[in-house]
Amino acid sequence: MTSKVEVEANICSHRTVIEVTDKGDGNMAVHIDTDCSSVQTYAEMVSELTPGDYSDWSDSKVWEMAAQAGLTTTCLVPVALINACWVESGMMSKRLALKEGPLCIRFIE
């Protein structure tokens, strides 16, 4: 099965769709479609992730490659990638995620 998430980053005018597929051993095949050149560079670096990459802070390819690709610290794509992996791996309920809808950051003042 595949899990898919979308990031609409209105503040930088970019859209990214992330698809992850469990390869059967907890490793995830990752496909990222984006109109952001920095995220495209990142996508090429994170085409496959191990469970440690999407569940640990330290020694995580998700975070290390974000820095190497030049993503800003405010970029939502790495967090969205981790969420997609969690749903695909069963660490987060896909049914609940779909039911509850978007996660968001809203600037209120």
To the nearest whole number, what is the mean pLDDT of the chain? 95
| Domain assignment present for 19 | yes
Span 65-69, average pLDDT: 96
| Domain assignment present for 21 | yes
DSSP 14-82: EEEEEEEEE-SSS-EEEEEEES-HHHHHHHHH-SEE-HHHHH-STT-HHHHHHHHHT--TT-SHHHHHH
CATH of the domain at 67: 3.90.1010
| Domain assignment present for 71 | yes
| Domain assignment present for 109 | no
Please tell me the total count of domains within the chain. 1
Residue 7's domain spans which residues?
Answer: 2-100
| Domain assignment present for 105 | no
* pLDDT recorded at residue 93: 95
| Domain assignment present for 84 | yes
Span 65-81, average pLDDT: 96
Quick check: 37 pLDDT over 90? yes
- Torsion angle of C-alpha atoms 18, 7, 1, 24, degrees rounded to 10: 50
| Domain assignment present for 33 | yes
| Domain assignment present for 75 | yes
